[in-house]
Amino acid sequence: MDSHSDSRSDSRSGSRSGSRSDSHFIELDRVEKVFDVRRKTGFLRRERREVRAVDSISFTVARGEMVGYIGPNGAGKSTTIKMLTGILTPSGGRLRVAGIDPSRERTRLAHRIGVVFGQRTTLWWDLPLIDSYRLMHRMYRIPDARYRANLDRCVELLELGDLLDVPVRQLSLGQRMRGDIAAALLHDPEILYLDEPTIGLDVISKAKVREFLRDLNAENGTTVLLTTHDLQDIEQLCRRVMVIDHGRLMYDGPLAGLHEVGDSERILVVDLERELPPIEAAPARVVKVEGPRQWLAFPASESAAPLVARIASEYPLVDLSVREPDIEAVIAQMYAEQADRAEQADRAERADRAERADRAERAGRAGEAEDAVS
């Protein structure tokens, strides 16, 4: 974790800040992953089906960025991360991590990345935690001093002191996760992929993990790609978020910008001097009235200022406040809309196929009739 350590003089030597290799530290250009899935459909029948887990995804991540990668179950998040580590080979497109093609040079890349799969441990199940770390020390050929320094820091910040001699299988989920995060960092990776690192953790453990990651990113400039279903992870850690669904990138930008993508609304809560008929201030519309208090919904993408000015000039205003749309609601809406679109496309494709089959059959019958006449 000592990012300025002298012993790493390979490709990081010299100042390269601001260079293209820094701005395109992780680079995906129309990357695809198609799985061939065979399904048993009858006694001897098997159906072959293609699953497009990742469907032409392009993005870049700059060195030192901390980016959230979110999406519903089955969206393709883990598949993307597996390609970024070299575990899976893309079916198409171009992929580079720190200038390296992950699936071709997986071992070389392994020295520069750390991975945590929240669903699965990389630790040795039956060994005490410290033995897993000792094995990694050897495997990654980490210089002794660096190994000690990194281990000490992780033990302190992730509170692993009492756990080092406990076999991994006896650790609680939260303890094991902290153990896994430490394991991913012993060799000073420049990039850290976290696939659901807070899954199943209690509130306090989540807070600790988040704080640790924030410090790691701030102090060492570690580039972090974070997948999670807990939007608080993203809110607290990432300025940028990417949303993926059905293998496609739906959004890439600041978390706050998501409000503008969904047709979400903000709410202006207005306190008037007295009860009055619903305020007229299109495009805002009154959605609730309670005595002198009225709630007006208006598009989240629009500024509240002109609306407030108008209401203040035309109505006896006492107080007001603006409520932001709940980010969870915005994302839920976004996922739902995408699911609707996918279902519609699926229905249209099925109808189209049925119509084509019908037409082919009718043409066939007409052909037979002609043959009979001639």
Total length of the chain:
374
Nearer to Mg ion, 72 or 90 (CB): 72
Give yes or no for a contact between 210 and 237, defined as CB atoms under 8 angstroms apart.
yes
By CB under 5 A, the count of residues binding Mg ion is: 1
Residue 121 touches which of Mg ion, ligand ATP, none (CB < 5 to 8 A by kind)? none
Residue 246 touches which of Mg ion, ligand ATP, none (CB < 5 to 8 A by kind)? none
Residue 96 CB, nearest approach to ligand ATP (Å): 20
Residue 62 touches which of ligand ATP, Mg ion, none (CB < 5 to 8 A by kind)? none
Residues in contact with ligand ATP by CB under 6 A are: 35, 37, 51, 53, 71, 73-79
Residue 228 touches which of ligand ATP, Mg ion, none (CB < 5 to 8 A by kind)? none
Nearer to ligand ATP, 54 or 109 (CB): 54
Give yes or no for a contact between 271 and 317, defined as CB atoms under 8 angstroms apart.
yes
Is 78 a binding residue for Mg ion by CB under 5 A? The answer is yes
Nearest by Cα to 156 from 164, 166, 145: 164
Is 85 a binding residue for Mg ion by CB under 5 A? The answer is no
- DSSP states along 110-144: HTTEEEEETTS--S-TTSBHHHHHHHHHHHTT--H
Residue 73 touches which of ligand ATP, Mg ion, none (CB < 5 to 8 A by kind)? ligand ATP
Nearer to ligand ATP, 115 or 154 (CB): 115
Residue with the CB atom nearest Mg ion in the bound state: 78
Paired tokens of 96: 């580079």
Nearest by Cα to 201 from 189, 215, 190, 213: 213
User: Quick one: DSSP state of residue 63?
Assistant: T
Is 150 a binding residue for Mg ion by CB under 5 A? The answer is no
Nearer to ligand ATP, 118 or 189 (CB): 118
Other Cβ atoms less than 10 A from the Cβ of 173: the count is 14
Contact flags string 311-330 toward Mg ion, x per CB under 5 A: --------------------
Is 198 a binding residue for Mg ion by CB under 5 A? The answer is no
The rounded distance, in Å, linking the Cα atoms of 343 and 318 is 48
Residue 11's SS3 state is coil
Give yes or no for a contact between 265 and 300, defined as CB atoms under 8 angstroms apart.
yes
Instruction: Please give the residue ranges that form the binding site for Mg ion (CB under 5 A).
Output: 78
